[in-house]
Every structure is written in C-alpha cells, then in structure tokens.
Structure 1
Amino acid sequence: MNAKILAILVLLPFAVGAQGFSGLGTDADGFATPEPDAAFSFPADHGPHPDYRIEWWYLTANLEDADGTPYGLQWTLFRSALAPGEAEGWRSPQVWFAHAAVTTPEQHFVTERFARGGIGQAGVRADPFRAWIDEWALEGPDFDALSLRATSTDFGYDMALRAQGPLVFHGKDGYSVKSAQGQASYYYSQPFYKISGTLDLPQGPVEVSGTAWLDREWSSQPLSDDQTGWDWFSLSFESGAKMMGFQLRQTDGTGYSSSTWIDADGTSTAYDDGVFSAVPLSSSSVAGRDVPTQWRVRHAAQGVDVTVEALNTGAWMDLSIPYWEGPVTVTGTHKGRGYLEMTGYE
C-alpha cells in the first residue's frame, strides 16, 4: 500500500463530515487532550507532540513583486496519528502530509505530499528547527530565522523568513477553546515574519517580498461533533496591528468564535465567543460549490468593521481533503491584507 493511500485511509475518520474537517470532532480515546494552564517549553514545543492525534505547522504569506502585483503563498505540514506515541521504522503510527500553494490574481497553484513516519521521509526536529517532507523543508538555526522550499511540476518557491516580533499565544495562554462543550487545542503563532525570495511560476521566476504568519496547533479532538467547518482569518493592518479570528459553524445554524488582537509591539489580548463576527457578503462559484469570498468582519472590542475580499476567488485547494485558502484584502475602518481559510463548504 503506497503512502498516499495509507494517509487517505488514516484520514477517513476526519472525512465523514463536510469536506473532511468536521470529523475532527470524533472521539479521541487513548490520545492526550489539551488541558488549561499549559506550560509551554521552547524550543521543544516547536517540535512534534506524538501523543496527540493531529498537529500542524501552517505558514501563509502575503507577497508583492517589484511592480506591486500581489501574491499569496501557503506551506503546511500536518501530522496525523493512527495511535498515540512514536516507534521506529514502519511501526511508527504517525502519518505526515503537506500542502503547498501559490495564488496570483489570475491563477491558483496547489499540490500535496504524503509520507509515513518513522522512516525519515518526513518529520519535525525542534532544535535546530527543521520541518520536512521529501525535499520540501522549513528549516533554520531557530524559529526566528528560517528558509522555506517547495517544488511541484508547475510551481515552486525558495524563501527566507526573519521574525520581527514575539510569539503570540491564543485563547488563555495558548489554550484555545473551540466549542461551548469545551473542546480545545494548544495554539500559538509567529505572525511577525518578514519574508522574501523567489516564486517559480510557469511564466518564469518572480522576486517577491512581504509578510508571513505561521500557526502552530495540536490537539486530539479540537471540534465538537455538531461542528461542520470553520472560517479562519489572519489579518495584518496598515497600523501594524494584527488580528486572528475564527468562527466554527454548527449544524443548528449557530456558531462559536474566538479571536486575538495583536498590537504592533506584540502585546496580545484574547477574546472569547461572540466578540468577533464574520458575515458573508457575497459568494462565488468555486469548483462546483458556492463559497463566500467577500465578508463583513467585525470586532466589537477593537472597533473593527471591515470588508475582507479574496484576491482570487478561485483559490480552492483541490486536494485529498479539499478546502478554500487564499490571500485577502481588507478595507473599512482598518486597511490591510491577510489570509482566509474556509472548510466545510459543499
């Protein structure tokens, strides 16, 4: 059985619900679960946590070339466990898969990789930091200075990242609640990267620079069984402030939200359910489904009332587990740019 088929079988529990993500609410018997008042330890926590069922290293970037043309970039390494713990060789219960994408105003390129843990094909090392699958790699002497490489048949990139601010912890000191029932994850970000390098596109290489945001999250049952998907926003404003906000959609039509406000100096404030809201303004037909690609986003505590609009409405991740992910522009009370991820749209 090849690694791709095995990985898809591992993810079948997650694929029962809408577009492969609502299954994250299935029971996680035997796995560790996040608890409040966690004590993070770095650099160790930049590495993997094999006793938890699902984990990711998730990078998005807003870029421009010398002419001011905007681009978006994504690189994500996921770890999914058949059982808690680690073992050598093919006895390892860990499965790895990765997504890479580049979005332009007219095009969206995307590809994926799969690997089995324990054989060296993929993994994460905390110190010095290295996250890899085959020749794709996010690595550096530490989490503040990284290089990023990924290639495919029709696109690729080679980038350098430098952190300009501190790590940000979401929820209560990194304990991020996802539902009224109390499901949660450990969740922190490095939203202050400056990034530059080369995009390799069909029309040729393009030199770009901009800002990047890296999310780190791990859990075993991050959703409740009545949640069908999420809308996640990472927004960077011209003032230097930033905002992360997400809403989890529920089968009864209600939702659960959480958000973090990040000042330009890195000081952050977390907000519970109800302060952040996102309402679709218009949708686009994408891959045969209606997907909201323009939103009214508000944050009651910070006076935010903005329109968030996709740079390219066709940024559909047509992968084994499909979803929408792409760069966005922000106008209204605050101006800026960012990234939007949406799951659970059929």
Structure 2
Amino acid sequence: MGAPARFLVAGIVLIALAVGLALVLRQQRPEPAPARLSVARALGGASPDGFLRALEPRRFSFPDDHGPHDGFRNEWWYFTGNLADAEGRSFGYQLTFFRVALRPRPVARDSRWGAGEVWMAHLALTDVAGRRFRHAERLSREALGLAGAGGRPLRVWLEDWQAVEVAARPWAVRLTGNGGDWGIDLTLRAVKPEVLNGAGGLSRKGGEPGNASYYYSLPRMETSGTVRAGGTTFTVSGLSWLDREWSTSALAPDQAGWDWLALHLNDGRDLMYYRLRRRDGTTDPASAGTIVAADGSYRHLAAAAATLETLSWWASPAGGARYPSRWRLRIPAEGIDLDIVPRLPDQELFTTVRYWEGAVEVRSNTGKGIAGSGYVELTGYGDQDVSAN
C-alpha cells in the first residue's frame, strides 16, 4: 500500500472506525470482513485542518526519524522480505504498522481509555512450496498500552506484534508476529544506510501543495530468524526492505490506486518504483522511484525514466477483482529490463481494505544475468465490487 510507496494507505484505519469500534473491546476478527470502501475514497475525504503537511524538504535525523512523528495524521512502518531455509524452501513475509492520529495535538484525558490515535497492523506469510498465503489484521487504540510507538530505541507494537530496535550501528530491529499456527520471529540488520525518496525525502504524489509525504527506506536489510507455517518452524535467512512514510494529505480525486514494487537485485542494486494510476487508466506524472547502487549511493527516478508493462492478469476466486500478475520493468538509463513474476498468484489480503501484496521473483529479459527477488503491492483493483454507500 508499500508500499507503502504506501503513500497514504494508513488512512484506511479511519474506515475501521466507521465499520465499528471493536477497537474499544480489543477484539481481533477471526476472519477479516470484505472491504466496505475503496482506498481512494477512504483517503480522499478527511480534512487536513490543523495537521502538519509535507510541503517542503526537511532535515532527516537518524535514528530519531525511525520513531513516530506527532502532528501528522498518517504514519507507517512497512517491512517486507524474501527468505529461505537451508534446503531452499522459500517464504515471503509482510509486517506493517499503521498509525492514524484522530486530532493534530494530544488532549489531556481523565480516562485511561482515552486515545488520540488508532492503530492497524497487517501480518502475512507466503509459503511458496506449500502453495499457501496466510494473512491477518489487528485493530486497536493507543489507550491502555494496547498499541503505540516510541523512539530511541524504537519500539512499535500492536498487542504482541512488535518491531523493536536491538542495535544502533548498524541499525537492527527484531520483528515478531503471531497468526495462530503461523508467524514470524526475525532480526533485520541494515546493510545500506537510509535512502531519501523523492526530492530529499519529500515524495510528491500530485500537483496540489501538501499532497505529499516524507518518505525514506532502508532498502537492504540482512534477515535471519524463524517462520512458522502450519505449526512447523523453519530457520530462515534472506533480505528485507523497510519503508517509512508520514503525511497528512490524501490522494487526488482522479487517482484510483498504485502499483508499487521494491526489488533486491543480485548485482547488489536495489530498486523502488511506484506507478500511480489515474481513473482513466493512464499513469500519473507524479509516479516515481529510486535506484540504489551496491555502495549505497542512490538517485531519484522520474516517471518518464521507467516503463512498467502488465504482461498477464490474475482474477481473484473471491470475485470482483482482477490484478496484474506479471510485469516487464524497463529503465533504459540503468540497463534494466526485468521480468517480474509473483511467487504465488494468490497473495490477496482481505483486510479493512482489499488489496494484493506479495513476494515476487525477478528475472532478466536481456540475458545479462540480472535476477533477484522483491515485493509488489497493488491497490485500487478490488474496488469495482465495493458499494458506494
């Protein structure tokens, strides 16, 4: 969402308030309900009055900026990665935390139940050999210590799902998430420094002032630990990607969704690119990306620098949604011509908002030996079956 690259996907937490505050009772739904609203509608309606907005480049400071940013409405910590055990059994995972402020500034409350923020987290595991995709969603509020975030050292949590900083140099974090008979317990260590996406970390999503986010990534994080799938524990290692964004503004009315991808290439480069889709099917000129060299240096990619072509489609068996399911990505100035293939066709999440996010394999179209792995997120494709009421 991301991806999320997620842009303003954290705003979907506001839908949860409309769907019903099971948040107050701290109840997790055993089966997530189908989406009631589209991402674009959810992100387009709330007023930004009183909240800070991403209007101009800012000075980033690490590790402070790994922590929360008060005054902005939306913020997220987005972890994805591809892993394998010693026998080569492959897994993909996603753990994301979304924070939405209900008001620009904290309000003193007498009750411990009082909250100024609501939280959502998504956990997903792709078991490639088992041909199974599992996912779960949790919703809560900051009150009573149920959810929250703090910096130095960083801790982000929603109940027992957590991201906890375990080392400062190089920066490392431990992720834990339990979905019943499946889950993750992973340690991620940054191999490259932070990358500022957009214009010095100001990532514009359209022409309207303030329609932007502050956006950075830790594009390559060595990962080790365990995953559980179907009650079996696997010792795994691989690479992860962290996306961090905070903002207030919503998507423009003519934007339907996005295709976001983050790729680890075997020549040491890392690549993020997102295509913002207009409702007429064309690519929004605010689409952009970042290419990161093996030494950690990076440069911005404008929309015109890349071409993302859909090669095939996958229709959800649940009906009402048809997603791209294979892509050709070309960036001529970087010598990149890639075939991107989902590790499983069905990596669709039925959470508060319906979307597709999953592990992909990367192959070269030029015979130069470039290959790799990554994650793709697709939003706005499941909205055609969503009621406008």
The alignment's TM-score, normalised by the length of structure 2, stands at: 0.82
The alignment status of 1:133 with 2:158, answered yes or no, reads yes
* 3-state secondary structure, aligned to 2:50: coil
1:304 to 327, 336, 348: 336
Deviation at 1:104, TM superposition (A): 1.6
Matches of 2:250 and 2:373, distance apart in 1: 27
Deviations 1:251-275 (A, max 9, x none): 1222221010000111010122221
Question: Cα RMSD (Å) of the superposition?
Answer: 2.1
Say yes or no: does 1:226 pair with 2:275.
no
Q: Which residue of 1 aligns with 2:198?
A: 171
1:324 paired residue among 356, 363, 375: 356
In the TM superposition, what is the alpha-carbon distance from 1:238 to its structure 2 partner?
Answer: 0.6
* Structure 1: runs of 5+ lacking an equivalent: none
CA offsets 1:163-189 (integer angstroms, 9 cap, x no match):
111011100111011124452110001
Supply the distance in 1 between the matched residues of 2:330 and 2:299 (Cα, whole angstroms).
Answer: 16
Does residue 259 of the first structure (1) align with residue 289 of the second (2)? yes
Structure 2 letter corresponding to 1:172:
A
Q: Are 1:100 and 2:119 matched, yes or no?
A: no
Could you say what secondary structure the match of 2:17 adopts?
A: helix
| Equivalence for 1:73 | 93
Give the equivalent residue in structure 2 for 1:268: 298
Please say if residues 182 and 231 of structure 2, whose CA atoms lie closer than 8 Å, have aligned partners that are also in contact: no
Whole-Å Cα distance in 2 between the matches of residues 273 and 99 of structure 1?
Answer: 29
Contact kept in structure 1, 2:15 and 2:37, CA below 8 Å: no
- Contact 1:16–1:22 (Cα < 8 Å) also in 2: no
Compare the two structures and name the one with the higher strand fraction. Answer: 1
Structure 2 distance, partners of 1:59, 1:280, is 25
Q: Report the Cα distance in structure 1 between the residues aligned to 2:277 and 2:19, rounded to whole angstroms.
A: 21
Superposed CA deviations along residues 151-171 of structure 1, whole A, max 9, x for unmatched, are 012311111111111011100
Residue in structure 2 matched with residue 282 of structure 1 by the alignment: 312
Moved over 6 A (4+): none
Instruction: Report 1:133-172 matches (<5 A).
Output: 133-142=158-167, 144-172=171-199
Matched pairs, number: 340
More displaced 10-residue stretch of structure 1: 82-91 or 221-230: 82-91
Q: What secondary structure does 1:91 align onto?
A: coil
Task: Give the TM-score, by structure 1 length.
Answer: 0.92
Residue deviations 1:84-106 (CA, integer Å, cap 9, x gap):
12346443321011000100220
Q: Please tell me whether residue 24 in structure 1 is matched to residue 43 in structure 2.
A: yes
> 1:327 offset after TM fit, Å?
0.5
Pair 92,124 (structure 1): closer, same or farther in 2 beyond 3 Å: same
Unaligned runs of 5+ in 2: 1-12, 21-34, 383-389
CA distance in 2, matches of 1:90, 1:280: 48
The match for 2:77 among 53, 57, 60 is 57
1:233 shift after superposition: 0.4
Contact 1:261 1:270 in 2 (8 A): yes
Indicate which of 5, 9, 24 corresponds to 2:17: 9
Q: Distance in 1 between the 2:332 and 2:248 partners?
A: 31
Q: Which structure 2 residues correspond to residues 333-344 of structure 1 after superposition, within 5 A?
A: 333=366, 334-344=370-380
Sort the Cα spacing of 1:50 and 1:120 in 2 relative to 1 into closer, same or farther, 3 A. same
Percentage of matched positions with identical amino acids: 39
Paired AA for residue 140 in structure 1: E
Cα pair distance change 1:148/1:118, threshold 3 Å? same
